[in-house]
């Protein structure tokens, strides 16, 4: 494992349901008008092809500007912490948090629960955030290092939600800088199939209460990788709908309220969708679902409010995933073997300023003209992966090779 020196750490890290709609949203519901034409993406700098490692400079002690690896975790020698559960203090993370003003006005009282916040990795650069309503749940049941089913001798991270009221995510311990690339491998997901029936749940009578009265079995999924505008930790599913900036995730659901591109047409389906989307900050947010989606599918950004997956994942496969940010734009990428596209790479860059990607402004220096929020506000960013919902999602998924690069 490579280690960055203290100077890189200070310069890099100190700068600065699915999370999809509930079953109440129907396929025909078009919340908002179409998006404007995408402006030219802003890359940094243009001579550096994204994904290329920087070359050494020609002069003594010089380096060509480029992406520099500052942190990584491959789980080969990681000793996981063994933390104890603490009584849930019901953190006040805004109006949509578990006992925020939105739910207080509706008479919702957060249930008794327990939480864990446990740093890990090289110089504790990563943190587990876990939630359960069953204090007898051992932490090893929700986070463990296990053999790689595809490569003998390799070790990977297993995140699991034994019950739909369990939730565990991984986040950085510090906010991200304004230029970064976060990448990882994700695969062997077992969070339902999007078909009628249990959809990956044990009993079939699970509900999204107390925050919603919906059947929890109607949805099941996980986050491949996402960028949030607030500290990531488990909450009811509505909370994260208002905190996402850009997302790669899957929500297996029935009946289908999204479409999957099968290579020739958009197919109504909730079976193993791979969603790549940004959140549209130009339009009014829905109370439960947050800002409307700007989905990448069929090699284009789809009209605002259309929920369209780029493809379907295969359960017994690994996928390479990354989200890259330079001021003014995000690039999302997923590579692997898919149900419809076969072996393929899906890559999409969005001009965050032109589209007013929700709360994209991460530093005071960035400009957000015409966006529906105060010009002087900004929102430092965090990545997150796992299951963040304390009222949806039951299953497990594997992760490996988490890497943080910064531009220097």
Domains of the chain are 6-16+18-45+64-407 (2.60.120.200)
Residue 95 to residue 218: CA distance in whole angstroms = 25
Task: Inform me whether the pLDDT recorded for 39 exceeds 80.
Answer: no
Residue 146 to residue 156: CA distance in whole angstroms = 6
Higher pLDDT, 169 or 27: 169
Q: CA 8, 122, 327, 15 torsion: positive or negative?
A: negative
pLDDT band at 60 (very low <50, low <70, confident <90, very high): low
Q: Classify 95 in phi/psi space as left (phi over 0), alpha (psi -120 to 50) or beta.
A: alpha
CB contact at 8 A, 258 and 312: no
pLDDT band at 63 (very low <50, low <70, confident <90, very high): confident
Give me 32's structure tokens: 């908002």
Average pLDDT over residues 335-342: 98
Average pLDDT over residues 149-153: 96
The pTM score is: 0.86
Task: Inform me whether the pLDDT recorded for 5 exceeds 90.
Answer: no
pLDDT band at 370 (very low <50, low <70, confident <90, very high): confident
Write down the pLDDT at residue 61.
67
The DSSP call for residue 280 is B
- φ/ψ of residue 63, rounded to 5: -135, 140
Write down the pLDDT at residue 312.
98
Q: Give the model confidence (pLDDT) of 218-264 as tens digits.
A: 999 999 999 999 999 999 999 999 999 999 999 999 999 999 999 99
**Segment holding 141, helix H or strand E:** helix 139-142
Residue 3 to residue 23: CA distance in whole angstroms = 45
Higher pLDDT, 389 or 408: 389
Kindly report the average pLDDT of the chain as a whole number. 88
Please classify residue 258 by burial: count the beta carbons closer than 10 Å to its beta carbon, then call 0-12 exposed, 13-18 middle and 19+ buried.
buried
Q: Which residue in 217, 305, 297 sits closest to 262, CA to CA?
A: 297
Report the percent of the chain where pLDDT is more than 70.
85
Write down the pLDDT at residue 336.
98
Q: Give the model confidence (pLDDT) of 199-223 as tens digits.
A: 999 999 999 999 999 999 999 999 9
Residue 369 to residue 160: CA distance in whole angstroms = 41
CB contact at 8 A, 129 and 85: no
Report the percent of the chain where pLDDT is more than 90.
80
Average pLDDT over residues 332-349: 98
Q: Give the model confidence (pLDDT) of 264-301 as tens digits.
A: 999 999 999 999 999 999 999 999 999 999 999 999 99
CB contact at 8 A, 16 and 379: no
Please classify residue 93 by burial: count the beta carbons closer than 10 Å to its beta carbon, then call 0-12 exposed, 13-18 middle and 19+ buried.
middle
Rounded to 5, what percent of the chain is helix, strand, coil?
A: 10, 40, 55
């Amino acid at each position: 494992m490579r280690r960055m020196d203290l100077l890189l750490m200070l310069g890099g890290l100190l700068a600065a349901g699915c999370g999809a709609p509930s079953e109440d949203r129907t396929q025909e519901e078009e919340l908002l008008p179409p998006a404007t034409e995408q402006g030219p993406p802003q890359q940094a700098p243009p001579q550096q092809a994204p994904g290329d490692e920087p070359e050494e400079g020609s002069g003594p002690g010089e380096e060509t500007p480029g992406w520099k690896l500052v942190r990584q975790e491959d789980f080969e020698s990681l000793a996981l912490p063994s933390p104890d559960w603490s009584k849930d203090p019901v953190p006040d993370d805004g109006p949509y948090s578990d006992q925020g003003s939105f739910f207080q006005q509706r008479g919702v009282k957060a249930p008794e629960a327990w939480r864990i916040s446990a740093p890990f990795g090289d110089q504790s650069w990563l943190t587990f955030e876990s939630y359960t309503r069953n204090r007898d749940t051992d932490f090893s049941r929700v986070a463990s290092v296990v053999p790689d089913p595809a490569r003998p001798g390799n070790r990977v991270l297993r995140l699991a939600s034994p019950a739909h009221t369990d939730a565990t995510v991984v986040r950085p311990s510090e906010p991200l800088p304004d230029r970064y690339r976060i990448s990882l491998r994700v695969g062997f997901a077992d969070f339902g199939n999007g078909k009628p029936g249990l959809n990956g749940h044990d009993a079939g009578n699970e509900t999204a209460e107390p925050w919603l009265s919906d059947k929890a079995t109607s949805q099941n999924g996980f986050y491949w990788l996402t960028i949030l505008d607030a500290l990531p930790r488990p909450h009811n599913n509505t909370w994260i709908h208002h905190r996402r900036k850009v997302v790669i995730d899957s929500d297996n659901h029935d009946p289908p309220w999204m479409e999957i591109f099968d290579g020739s047409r958009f197919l109504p389906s909730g079976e193993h969708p791979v969603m790549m989307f940004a959140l549209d900050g130009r339009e009014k947010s829905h109370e439960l679902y947050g800002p409307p989606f700007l989905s990448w599918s069929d090699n284009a950004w789809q009209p605002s409010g259309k929920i369209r997956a780029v493809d379907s994942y295969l359960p017994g496969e690994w996928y390479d995933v990354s989200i890259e940010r330079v001021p003014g734009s995000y690039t999302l990428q997923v590579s692997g073997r898919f149900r419809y596209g076969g072996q393929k790479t899906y890559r999409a860059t969005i001009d965050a300023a032109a589209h007013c990607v929700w709360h994209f402004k991460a530093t005071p220096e960035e400009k957000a003209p015409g966006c529906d929020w105060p010009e002087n506000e900004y929102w430092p960013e965090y990545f997150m992966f796992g299951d963040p919902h304390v009222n949806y999602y039951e299953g497990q998924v594997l992760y490996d090779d988490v890497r943080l690069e910064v531009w220097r």
